[in-house]
């Protein structure tokens, strides 16, 4: 049986709606909140996680991690944000 190859995620720029480490914290989080309403909580968290894992810049890692924690605290258990109907 052939050995399975690893499939790495393809990271595309621009998927975080203009998120940048240079933006102030309030603007970054407002952008992310709009994206959660548009694309869903899980999708935005996955994109931030992917950015955090791919980058080698420590400042980006720190800010992405902080923004992920903020989104978790604000949106994690809010049923209206989820794409599927929670039953």
In this prediction, residue 2 carries a pLDDT of 64
In this prediction, residue 85 carries a pLDDT of 44
Length of the chain equals 87
Q: Is the pLDDT of residue 7 over 80?
A: no
Q: Read off the pTM.
A: 0.74
The better pLDDT of the pair 15, 72 is held by 72
The better pLDDT of the pair 56, 77 is held by 56
């Amino acid at each position: 049986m052939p050995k399975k190859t690893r499939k790495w995620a393809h990271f595309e720029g621009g998927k975080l709606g203009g998120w940048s480490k240079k933006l102030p914290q309030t603007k970054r989080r407002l952008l992310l909140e709009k994206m959660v309403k548009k694309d869903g909580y899980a999708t935005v968290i996955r994109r931030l996680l992917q950015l955090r894992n791919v980058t080698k810049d420590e400042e980006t890692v720190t800010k992405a991690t902080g923004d992920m924690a903020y989104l978790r605290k604000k949106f994690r258990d809010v049923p209206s944000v989820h794409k599927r109907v929670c039953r």
